[in-house]
Structures are given as structure tokens and as C-alpha cells.
Chains A and B, each alone.
Chain A
Amino acid sequence: MKKDMELANEVIRISGANPIRCMKCGKCSASCPSFNEMEYAPHKFVDMVVHGRIEELMESKSIFHCLSCFACVERCPRGVEPAKIVEAIRVVKQRQIGENYLDANDIPAIVDEQIPQQALVSAFRKFKK
């Protein structure tokens, strides 16, 4: 339990967000364009961080479905900034050796003619360390 909370505090520190302010209104999940892709919806994310359930989140693919579009951050009435929390978990995971979501070797197979450079730059920035 103690270890879980330490990890959660690390996530909160990296994110700079403030999950304890959440009043469980569901505004983030109501705004999320990736809701249906995610195992854990944004409001659930926030709640799990508050309760130290970081490892479950790290194991979930949900963290790679967040678009960082900031709709949740923009609309949250409590200034919780869920997108920052998701990113922080993603960062914690990627900082562990061998936990990259994206492998450079897979890239040639998935790119097409038109893909802008920026898409690759961002994908690597978001999903690989």
C-alpha cells in the first residue's frame, strides 16, 4: 500500500496536476473523444491515482489511447487536469527499461506515402523514450 502511494505521489509530482480536487462529476469522461477506446476512462484514471492504483494503469493500454487533446483539462470545473496525469503515467512507464510503446523497427510497415514528418516525431515523443 505504502509503495503504491509512493508511486502515485511520483505520478502526481511529474504531472503537476491535482487529482484530490476531483469532485467526481464526470466532465472529463463526458468530453473525452477516446472514451470508447479506453479501458479506464479519465474520471476513473483520476480516482485510481488518488487511491494509488498506478500499476494497474501502467498495465493498461488506455494510457496510449489518450490524444492529449486537452478537452478534459479545458472543461474540468476543478482544475484537475486529467490529461497531465495520463501523460505522467505514460512517462513513468516509458522510463522503465524496455517499456516503450513504439518500436522504431515497426515503423516502416505502418507508414504510408503521405504521413507527415510531424506525425512520426510526435508518435516517438509520446510513446517512446
Chain B
Amino acid sequence: MQGLELKLKERLQKLLDDGTVDCVIGWTKGEFIYDVTPAIFTKESGLDGFVYNSFCGANLSKYLVSQITSDKKFAVILKPCDTYSMNQLITEHRVNRENIYIIGVGCSGHIDIDKVKAQGVSGITNVIDNDNNIIINSIYGDSKIEKASVLLSKCQSCKGSELKISDEIIGEGIKTPTCDERFDGVKKLEAMTAEERFAFWKSELSKCIRCNACRNICPACTCRTCVFDNARSNVAAKANATEFEEKMFHIIRAFHVAGRCTDCGECSRVCPQSIPLHLLNRKFIKDINEFYGDYQAGEESNQRNPLVNFTESDIEATVISDKEGK
């Protein structure tokens, strides 16, 4: 990992120096090693504080959306899974590809600090992540942890090591060994009775505080003004006044990104209430795959989203209302 950080830094400096780009979207270090924040570096500010380590799991593609009208050129560091979002943003004209220089980084999975801490490790000073096991240096000594057990949830259903779009590639990665099948969570819910499903979502969604973290991180949720913020939309609300509004917000949010969601998992990652929001998006993905054939949003740019597409022989909508079973 440390080697990769150096390589990146060196290359980015060069890109800034030779004028290929004006800015870099990367991470800046915080107080602790796991305390990293997405940041924009400019030629003027230089790459001081630039960091790339096992905790740089966030998807940076969304930060380009607000730069669409900028005439500056940006370098962005994207992991394989982030490139799907980039493709989707290009498809929807939400970023200006001409002004973007994509550095694809090889990836072998990123670490969820909460999962590390949950294993009883504290006072972390450094992490050495070169193997299936990671070594954690802390003020109380070193410990060795199986990497798979502390991966980010989204890495546990890794889409693979292939970069779907990039201008250059730095470092090699491997597909992280997946811990669970992508749709296991959805299937588990589907196997429940309607009453159980209802109770599950009622208890999960009632935790929602409408902080909009899911919406803000989501690389598919890029509306200038969200319908839920638009006073004239008849559905605007700043907080959930009723159980209905909790459901409404999340159903509509999932519906609006259906066919566009790349399943990056950021929504669940950032949710302060730990609501498994990805289970909503994955339900749509699973249905789309089952009803209309396998589809991966962002697999390439300029794909046609299945919700703005059809075939004459599509499955009838009554497939749901006439469905047998629980």
C-alpha cells in the first residue's frame, strides 16, 4: 500500500507539473491513519497531505459532478468499482469526460475501521496491508487480523479487479474474495412472509433521521434539486413525519436510481443509523436481472438504462399481483 501511495503521488505531481491537469481529487490525511477525507489538490496547494491507504474506500466519482461547469482539468483516482459510477455519470452527461483524467488504481479491498475496532483493537497507529492478513500497529502493540473479516461491506461483494474506464492504471489489484453472494440479503428477505418483511422494513426505516447522507454520497443521486427538497413537488419534506414518509423517501429514492445504481454500496456505508439501504437497490437490480436480463449499470458508458428501455415481449406487470406465495 505504501508503495502505491508513493507511486500515485509521484505521478500526480507530474500531471500537475506538466499541465495535464489543474486539480487532483484524492484524499487528505487526518489525525489518525484511518481518518482520511476526500479532497481537491491544486497546482498551487501542491500534494501536501495527500494520502492513499487501506481506508480510502470512498467513491470519488461523485465529486466531479459539481465540477461539470468548471473549465479546469481534474485527475481523479478511481478503484475498479468506482469506474462503474464514472461510466454511468458519463452516460447521463453529469460529468465532462474531456476534462477528466482517470487514474485507475489496482485494488484488493479496503478496510472498515469500525470492523477493526469491533475486534477490540484500539489506539491504532498504523496498518500494514500487504497480504490476506493485515498487521495493525497500535500503542498497545501489534496484532494480526484476517483481512477478509474487516473489509468494507461493499468489498465483500466485490465486482472484480477490472477497471471499466481509465486513462492510466497504477498498481495491480485482485478481486477480493467475496464473503457473500450479492443477492443473499435480498433472497433472505424474499423468503420471509409479507408480515415479516413489513416488520423488518418498519424497524429499519424507522431509524431514518433524514440526514440525507445516503443521497449525498450516492453517485446516481445527482439531481440539482431533489424532489424531496422541491417545495412544488408535493412530496417535499425535511424530516419524516410519519411512517409513510420514511417508506416514501426510500422507495422513491431507490426507484429513481433503479437501472442507474451501480451497486457501489456507499449508501449503506455512510448511513449513520446503519440501515441496510443497499438491500433496496439490490432488490431492483435483482428484479431487473430476472425480468429483463442481466444488466450492470456502468459496465460501459452510453448503455440504455432498463427503465428507459423495453422489449415487446417483456414480462407483464401482473407478474407481481398474480404471484403465488407469501
Direct contact of A and B (CB under 8 A): no
**Which residues of A pack against B, CB within 8 Å?**
none
B residues near A, CB below 8 A? none
